[in-house]
Structure 1
Amino acid sequence: MITMSQKYQTLMKYMHEGESIRKIARDIGTHRETVSKYVKEYEQKRNQLMEGGEDVDVEALIEALTEKPTYTTGSRPKRKLTPEIEQRILTFLEENRDKRQKGQKKQQKTVMDMYEVFEDEELDISYSTVRRLVRQLEHRAKEAFIKETYMPGDVCEFDWGEVKITVDGRLQPFQMAVFTSAYGNYRWACLFPKQTTECFQEAHARFFAHVGGVHTTLTYDNMRVAVRGLAGEKGPTEGLMQLMVYYGFQHRFCNIRRGNEKGHVERSVDVVRRKAFAIKDTFESLEEANHFLEGVCSEKLNQKSMSQYEGQTPKQRLEQEREYLLEAPPKWDAARVNYARVDKYATVVIEQNRYSVPDHLVGEMIMVKVYAERIRCFYNEACIANHERLSGHHRWNLQLSHVLETLRKKPGALAGSLALHQADQKIKAIYETYYTGKERDFIALCHYLRDEGNLDDVLASIDQLEAMHPKHVTTDKIKAICARNNEQPITPPSSQDTEAIAEQARNQMSDYDQLFQMIATKEGIH
Structure 2
Amino acid sequence: MISMYTKQEIILRSYREGKSQRCIAGELSISRKTVSKFIKDYEFWKVSNINSTLSDYLSKPDSYDSSNRGKIVLTREVESSIDKLLSLNDKNRSLGLHKQLLKKVDIYNHLQSQGVSIGYTTVCNYIRGKESKGSTPEAFIRQSYVPGSSCEFDWGEIKLDIGGSLQRFQLAVFTSSYSNYRYACIYNRQDTLAFMESHVSFFNYTGGVFKEMVYDNMRVAVAKFVGKYEKEPTRALLDLGCHYGFSHRFCNARRGNEKGHVERSVEYIRRKAFGFSHSFDSLEAAEQHLLTIIEQINGTKQQLTGKSAITLFEEEKPHLSPVSSDLNCSETVELRVDKYSTVSFRTNRYSVPDHLVGDFVEIKFFSSTLEIYHKDILLGRHPRNYGKHQWVIAIEHYLYTLKRKPGALSGSLALISSVYLKQLYETYFTQSPRDFIELLEYCKTYQVDHERLETTVNRLLSANSTTINTERIKALLGNKTTSCSGQVLEDQTMLLAKQQLTQVSSLMN
User: Which TM-score bucket, shorter chain as reference?
Assistant: 0.5 to 0.7
Per the alignment, residue 186 of structure 1 pairs with: 181
1:93 is aligned, of 93, 98, 106, to 98
Q: 1:461 to 1:312 in 2, by over 3 A?
A: closer
3-state SS, counterpart of residue 191 of structure 1: strand
Give the structure-2-normalised TM-score.
0.66
User: Alpha-carbon deviation of 1:469?
Assistant: 6.5
User: CA 1:94/1:179 → structure 2, altered by over 3 Å: closer, same or farther?
Assistant: farther
- In our comparison, the structure showing a higher alpha carbon Rg is 2
CA RMSD of aligned residues (A): 2.7
What is the correspondence of 1:323-338 to structure 2 with a 5 Å cutoff? 323-338=318-333
| One of 196, 199, 222 as aligned partner of 2:191 | 196
Match of 1:223 among 207, 218, 222: 218
The answer (yes or no) to whether the contact 2:160–2:167 under 8 Å persists in 1 is yes
The 3 A distance-change label for structure 1 pair 452 and 93 is same
For the 8 Å contact 1:335–1:370, the answer to whether it is kept is yes
Aligned counterparts of 2:192 and 2:312: Cα–Cα separation in 1: 30
Alignment match, 1:290: 287
**CA distance in structure 2 between the aligned counterparts of 1:89 and 1:367, rounded to whole angstroms:** 53
**TM-aligned CA distance change 1:241 to 1:472, over 3 Å:** same
| Per-residue CA distance 1:283-309 (angstroms, 9 max, x = gap) | 22222211111111112x111111211
- 1:30-41 equivalences in 2 (<5 Å): none
Tell me how far apart the structure 2 counterparts of residues 180 and 430 of structure 1 sit (CA, whole Å). 49
Question: How far apart are residue 467 of structure 1 and its match?
Answer: 6.3
With over 3 angstroms needed to count, the CA separation of the structure-2 counterparts of 1:290 and 1:462, relative to structure 1, is closer
Query: Is the counterpart of residue 405 in structure 1 residue 400 in structure 2?
Result: yes
Question: Equivalent of 1:381, from 343, 353, 376?
Answer: 376
Q: Write the distance in 2 (CA, Å) between the matches of 1:272 and 1:372.
A: 22
2 CA distance for matches of 1:484 and 1:158? Answer: 51
Residues 184-193 or 390-399, more deviating:
390-399
Aligned to 2:270: 273
Match of 2:302 in 1: 306
SS across alignment from 2:169? strand
> Structure 2 CA distance, aligned partners of 1:212 and 1:234?
30
Contact 2:226 2:232 in 1 (8 A): no
2:478 to 465, 483, 499: 483
* SS of residue in 2 equivalent to 1:229: strand
Q: How far apart are the structure 1 equivalents of 2:180 and 2:275?
A: 21
Could you say if the C-alpha distance between residues 463 and 198 of structure 1 is closer, same or farther in structure 2, counting changes exceeding 3 Å?
A: closer
TM-score computed with the length of structure 1 as normaliser: 0.64
Aligned to 1:366: 361
SS in structure 2 opposite 1:162? strand
Q: Unpaired runs of 5+ in structure 2?
A: 1-92, 112-133, 482-509
Call closer, same or farther: CA 1:477–1:163 in 2, change over 3 Å: same
Number of residue pairs the alignment of both structures matches: 364
Residue 375 (structure 1) shift: 0.9
**In the alignment, is residue 435 of structure 1 matched against residue 439 of structure 2?**
no
- Shift in Å at residue 230 of structure 1? 3.6
Identity of aligned residues (%): 41
Larger deviation, residues 463-472 vs 156-165: 463-472
Residue of structure 2 in register with 1:121 after alignment? none
Q: CA deviation at 1:482?
A: 3.3
Residue aligning to 1:120: none
How big is the shift at 1:437?
Answer: 2.4
Q: 412-421 or 470-479, which moves further after superposition?
A: 470-479
For 2:447 and 2:260, the matched residues in 1 are separated by 57
- 1:253 is aligned to 2:234: no
**Alpha-carbon distance in structure 2 between the residues aligned to 1:305 and 1:324:** 22
Query: By how many angstroms is 1:93 displaced?
Result: 3.3
Uncovered stretches (5+) of structure 1, i.e. residues with no partner:
1-87, 108-138, 487-526
CA offsets 1:418-442 (integer angstroms, 9 cap, x no match):
221222x443332222112221110
